Amino acid sequence: MEVLLIMSQRIAIVGGGRIGEALLAGLLESGTQVKDLVVVEHSAARAAEIADTYGVLTTDLTTAVEGASVVVVAVKPKDVDGVIEALSRLDDDDDLEHVIVSLAAGVTISHYENKLPAGFPIIRVMPNTAMLVGESMSGVSAGRFASQENIDLVVAMMSSVGKVLVVPESQMDAVTAISGSGPAYAFFLAEAMVDAGVGLGLTRAQATQLAAQTIKGAGILLTDSGSSPTDLRAAVTSPGGTTAAALREFERHAVRSAVNEAAFACAARSAEGAGGASASSEGAAVSPDRS
Ligand SMILES: NC(=O)C1=CN([C@@H]2O[C@H](COP(=O)(O)OP(=O)(O)OC[C@H]3O[C@@H](n4cnc5c(N)ncnc54)[C@H](O)[C@@H]3O)[C@@H](O)[C@H]2O)C=CC1
Ligand SMILES: O=C(O)[C@@H]1CCC=N1
């Protein structure tokens, strides 16, 4: 259904880096036609790579935006202002409304609204790299000029590459801390498990297969079983058994607290603009200093 909704709506992706490519690949995989996608990428080498791999048109911003219902900003936060300036200067002939979808961590909707001509619909989205395999978790917040139709279009687009949670923008830093950066936390755990397996005498290939399939299986149990993480963990933990011995070490090394501190640091970085030009104008949902 999501694919039908966005069918024939041209999507321009500005920034063909890791997240732009993940969105592009996910959209193609979910049925969006090559003709309905266009990429703007500053690096000529990278643009050629994207065009060769996916067969999509890579072009300049003016050509890309012409006829595009959705313009996705997928550049680093520090490069967002350059894109906003270029968008402000555009004088396209089509009568289409262009919905701007910003994927940039920490860049607020008001940052766009203050710099673009009045009335531009802005929707801020925090996806993750699992768009590549159609399993993103994306937070979506709409700006004041976005209509319900605009929101439905963007929710449909992001639903075609994973799950969507619509949140007020005040929760976007927290979303970034859990699901935006979250895949890296899981990969970090996987790396540690692989190293531990090698330490225990497994080959790296064996340890990688064991860790990856275990994390995949645990993820599916989490999403599909209807049980809480606490109940699922309890089901693995036999009284006086092996898992209890392992979990005791996690608690002794304060892993739970480390995850909490990491998420707060991530949210604080998002609130300060994630290395871009703008700091959150509406205040962070969390503060880096909670003492
Ligand atoms: N990597 C991730 O897991 C996630 C990243 N994001 C956000 O996505 C954005 C992009 O991140 P990545 O893809 O990781 O960065 P990246 O550095 O891999 O890609 C950015 C691309 O934009 C291009 N670029 C820069 N200025 C441009 C312009 N004016 N016009 C056209 N292309 C331009 C660069 O050449 C580069 O290829 C960031 O704002 C980040 O906060 C959001 C969610 C997850
Ligand atoms: O590390 C970053 O800044 C980006 C935003 C969310 C995930 N990666």
Please state the ipTM of this predicted complex: 0.99
Atom of ligand 1 nearest to the CA of 128: 44
Give me ligand 2 centre to Cα 195, in Å: 25
Is 77 known as a binding-site position? yes
Is 168 known as a binding-site position? no
Give me ligand 1 centre to Cα 157, in Å: 19
The reply to whether 158 and 188 lie within a common domain is no
CATH number at residue 97: 3.40.50.720
What pTM, to 2 d.p., does this model score? 0.93
The reply to whether 227 and 262 lie within a common domain is yes
Identity of residue 238: S
Cα-based distances in Å from 212 to 97, 217, 233: 43, 9, 18
Distance CA 219, CA 229 (A): 10
Nearest protein Cα to ligand 1, atom 7: 104
The reply to whether 18 and 155 lie within a common domain is yes
Number of domains in the chain: 2
The reply to whether 109 and 120 lie within a common domain is yes
Question: Which residue, 156, 155, 179, 157, is CA-closest to 166?
Answer: 155
The reply to whether 148 and 262 lie within a common domain is no
Q: Are 77 and 269 in contact (CB under 8 A)?
A: no
- Residue 5 token pair: 């909704």
Residue 188 has φ and ψ, to the nearest 5°, of -60, -45
Question: Which residue, 124, 109, 10, 112, is CA-closest to 57?
Answer: 10
Q: For residue range 41-91, what is the model confidence (pLDDT) as tens digits?
A: 999 999 999 999 999 999 999 999 999 999 999 999 999 999 999 999 887
Distance CA 177, CA 137 (A): 12
Is 216 known as a binding-site position? no
- Residue 55 token pair: 């067969």
